[in-house]
Structure formats: structure tokens, C-alpha cells
Amino acid sequence: MGNFEKDPNKIIYDNLAGYAESKGMSLNMDMSFVSGLKIIAGATLMENSLTENGSTIQQILTEKFTGTWSISYKFRKQHLTVDYTGNLYSPMRLPLLSGLDPRSATSPWWSIQNIQILYSGFKNIELYLGVKNLLNWTPNQENPFIIARSQDPFDKNVSFDAQGKALVTADNPYGLTFDPNYVYGPNQGIRGFVGMRVKIQ
């Protein structure tokens, strides 16, 4: 992974003055019942650390816990299947540009959940509808902005000092440069969908 923190205007790939470790464990479960209920769930615990100059920190953009699930139920007489899926992520360290960057240094616990209803009562045709991102969660709910200076992607209106560090100005009160590296979750909120599948034999 590139070093996003040494210089906010660069992504640096070089050898570590130390070492990195990634270790963890996963647990998965798959259950099916004659009633038509099916449950698939999994969880992963991870420790992604970076040790340099005697100091150990969590690697950037890596969560310590993830969970996923899928719950499905078939109403056989009605030819309906309801699917509820989701995932859960623990906080992760995020790349900030400087001490003045107003964005949060860590993400919150967050989850994306979806539901779909499928009707299969027609021959070779399936109809479905559903909702994605039921909780209407996006990263910008926790921050004043996600992409720093999105209105100035080439830093034309950023002033720099002799060392190349962005200066605080009236147009740039936090002394930031254009930065899309902070995005760690979906940017689309809750939305619905409908569709049809046709089986061709």
C-alpha cells in the first residue's frame, strides 16, 4: 500500500523502515431449513499493523472487523423470495492532509443493508424489486466534505510555501490540496430498483 501520510501531495511507494503485519481469523456459517429459510453469515477479525522506528500503528484504510450476512426466505405458495443482505465494518484510520483537515481521522462503525423481493410465478420470467442502502448511510454524513477541494482538482487556486506545503488562504481556510483518497464507503444513499429476468432456453 502506498504511503499517503508522508507527503499529502504524493503517494509514495518505498521500503519500510520496519515491517508490516496482517493477521486475522474468519468464521462463516451457512444454514438451510426445510421451511424455506436460509441464513449465511460471516465475520472476520483482522489486525493490520505497521511498525516503524519502534512505533506500531494500525495501517491506513484497514478495518479490524467485518461482518456479512444474507437471510433469504421462500414463500413457496406465493412464488415469492425475500432476500435481506448486509455488511458491517468497524472503524478504520483515514488519510488526512494535515492537522487542519476538518475531516474525521477515523471512520465510524457503518453498515450497508439491502432488501429484495423476487416473484417467480411466471414461466421463464422473474420480477424483482428492492431497496439498496436501507439505512441511507454515506461517509459525508460524518464530515463537512469527503473529497478535499473537489472544485479545484488541479490545485490552480492553492498557494504553496517554499517547501511545497499548501498555505491557508481565504479561498482555502484549511490549507488543503485536491484529495480523493478519503473515500472509504459508498457515495450513493438509499435507492430503489425494479427489474425483470428472462430465461432463454
**Roughly how many angstroms between the first and final C-alpha of the chain, as a whole number?**
46
Count of helix runs (H) and strand runs (E) in the chain: 0, 8
β-strand pairing of 191-198 with 125-132: antiparallel
Contact 59, 49 (CB under 8 A): yes
Write out the chain's pLDDT in tens, 201 residues.
Answer: 566 666 666 666 667 778 888 999 999 999 999 999 999 999 999 999 888 888 888 888 899 999 999 999 999 999 999 999 999 999 999 989 888 999 999 999 999 999 999 999 998 999 999 999 999 999 988 788 999 999 999 999 999 998 888 999 999 999 999 988 888 888 899 999 999 999 887
What is the 8-class DSSP label of residue 17? S
Question: What per-residue confidence (pLDDT) applies to 3?
Answer: 62
Question: What per-residue confidence (pLDDT) applies to 12?
Answer: 67
- C-alpha cell of residue 25: 481469523
Question: What per-residue confidence (pLDDT) applies to 1?
Answer: 53
What is residue 168's three-state secondary structure? Answer: coil
Question: What per-residue confidence (pLDDT) applies to 5?
Answer: 61
- Name the nearest CA neighbour of 149 among 107, 126, 125, 178: 178
- C-alpha cell of residue 56: 506500531
Question: What per-residue confidence (pLDDT) applies to 11?
Answer: 65
Bridge partners of 53, per DSSP, are none
Radius of gyration of the chain (CA): 23
For every residue of 131-146, DSSP letters joined together read EESTT---GGGGSS-S
Question: What per-residue confidence (pLDDT) applies to 141?
Answer: 84
- Name the nearest CA neighbour of 103 among 196, 14, 198, 176: 176
Question: What per-residue confidence (pLDDT) applies to 10?
Answer: 63
Question: What per-residue confidence (pLDDT) applies to 55?
Answer: 86
Return phi, psi of residue 142, to 5°. -105, 0
Q: Which amino acid is at 190?
A: I
- C-alpha cell of residue 41: 453469515
- Say how many CA atoms lie within 13 Å of 154 toward its Cβ: 1
- Name the nearest CA neighbour of 184 among 96, 101, 125, 80: 96
Question: What per-residue confidence (pLDDT) applies to 57?
Answer: 87
* Structural domains of the chain, with CATH: 18-198 (2.40.170.20)
Question: What per-residue confidence (pLDDT) applies to 199?
Answer: 87
Question: What per-residue confidence (pLDDT) applies to 167?
Answer: 93
